[in-house]
Amino acid sequence: MKNLGLTFFLVGLGLFLSLFFMSDYQLSNEDFKSIVKQEHQESLLPEIANILEKPFSNAISFANAIDHAVNTVNEQMRATQQWDQVIYDNYTASLTRAATKGIITEHPTTLFLLIFGLVIGGGVIFSLAGKNSPPGIKNNGIFFNALNNRGWIGILVGTILIAFYILLYFYDAHIMNWIILVDPLQKWINPSATSSQWFLYGFLYTIAVTVMGVRFIMKYRHSKYQIVRTISVMFFQLALAFLLPEILVRLNQPYFDFKNMWPLDYDFFDAWHINMLTSAGGIGIFMFAWGITLFMVGVPVLVYFFGKRWYCSWVCGCGGLAETAGDPFRQLSDKSLRAWKIERYLIHGVLVFAIVMTGAVLYNFISSTNTIFGLDTYTYLRKPYGFMIGSIFSGVVGTGFYPLMGNRVWCRFGCPLAAYLGFIQRFKSRFRITTNGGQCISCGNCSTYCEMGIDVRWYAQRGQNIIRSSCVGCGVCSSVCPRGVLNLENRDEEGRFVKNSFIE
């Protein structure tokens, strides 16, 4: 059963990847005129004339030819100081989409059902087959495994993930076949919408969380805590992060993810976002107020009672992906003191960066300016943050490096919201992991499988409570402990910072 599921999954994945190469591209004059704005057609036409009606065998060469034509026009306009003629619109993706010809444009629904049927069906069969083996971790040569310990399969998976994120963020025209592939689903949800790279990403993300969530539940089925919190992250990803925002758009309301909040949602206070929400009437105002209330009131109150786990391990999409798709790699987190030190500098540095950037953006919004202390806010703060943190750190490194550095790279080293939650958890919360040190046999399972790089055994051997700001309360240390030493608790604050009394 396991091999059957794996075969279905790999065939589906192979078809998905090979679709990348399966189209021809030919741009017609009519499509050019219907997509490019009238004021740009005249200047662009001489440069694009040799592309029109010419067949290209791959998206990369076609998109590069479009980019080259637009860049050439812009250089000419800048050289002759015709600033109003410079083209800022990005036509590459829409022209590539119009030029795409082949099996994907002829049979998108069939391919969608075939590919994702194989991927999802195979993944679920593979996951359910886990019920044939005992629950929990096996410790059966995990550090000799080519996938789980940075072997060739792990490096291959990491390389594919990194390449995917780079294409997704910076070269959406190159993955047009995949974007068109999910168009049937986009049309089922909202007939007037056309799929984008973000819809594709949301769909793949949701598949990863739900299919691998089934695997996680089967693996940790001896723990009620793990079952319930995994169902929770699957629900939040599917319902709140993927479906609800699309349904809102269908109802002519703003796209809004109710569980995402500043500073993770770093463009929440951007002028375009505030304007979009406040101009949408009552529901938009409610969304804006909800977003502010969530991080100003919801976070402190809920972290006080439950620790940061209420968000990082039960609600968050990044955490949801890490816990499910990233579970095979959780043992790769670095447990050294050096990594802990880097973690503290980096994550708090990102939080400070997010606060400064947001302060500047808000100042610009309120004062109707674009600069702060004479510097252009977008160029010097907003754009670098979006590129370095929003794209490279959270996406390319945060997920692409799962098979190399463990599944919580982003949550541990980069997420500004995790830093904020962790700060409250460390100093003002009822949450702690208590350790019944007398029972510890020093097997090290807890430290090995802590995705946040916490040396749990060190605390357990001393009977010391774990109140580390980075602990996301996933509870896996407790689930893999053979002696029942570790317990996640929300008790009174009193006694939180001292060793357990029986050791004293």
Q: Which residues bind ligand SF4 (CB under 6 A)?
A: 433, 440-446, 450-452, 454, 456-457, 460, 466, 471-477, 481-483, 485-486
| Of 400, 421, 397, 416, the residue nearest 472 (C-alpha) | 421
In the numeric block, the tokens 């168009």 are attached to: 183
| Least distance (Å) between residue 448 CB and ligand SF4 | 8
Q: Which is nearer to ligand SF4, 383 or 426 (CB)?
A: 426
Q: Which is nearer to ligand SF4, 361 or 466 (CB)?
A: 466
Contact 290, 323 (CB under 8 A): no
| Least distance (Å) between residue 312 CB and ligand SF4 | 9
Q: Which is nearer to ligand SF4, 181 or 316 (CB)?
A: 316
Q: Which is nearer to ligand SF4, 49 or 441 (CB)?
A: 441
Q: How far is CA 251 from CA 190, 235, 245, in A?
A: 9, 22, 10
First to last CA, the chain: 52
Q: How many CB atoms lie within 10 A of CB 86?
A: 15
Contact 306, 426 (CB under 8 A): no
Q: Which is nearer to ligand SF4, 112 or 449 (CB)?
A: 449
Omega before 384 within 30 of 0, i.e. cis: no
Residues in the chain: 504
| Least distance (Å) between residue 227 CB and ligand SF4 | 16
| Least distance (Å) between residue 35 CB and ligand SF4 | 49
Residues facing 389 on adjacent strands: none
| Least distance (Å) between residue 168 CB and ligand SF4 | 28
283: Cβ–Cβ under 8 A, 6 or more apart, which residues?
253, 254
Q: Which is nearer to ligand SF4, 93 or 424 (CB)?
A: 424
| Least distance (Å) between residue 345 CB and ligand SF4 | 20
Q: Residue 220 and residue 492: Cα distance in Å, rounded? A: 29
Q: Which is nearer to ligand SF4, 206 or 407 (CB)?
A: 407
Q: Which residue type does 178 have?
A: W
51: Cβ–Cβ under 8 A, 6 or more apart, which residues?
27, 62, 65, 66, 69
| Least distance (Å) between residue 55 CB and ligand SF4 | 54
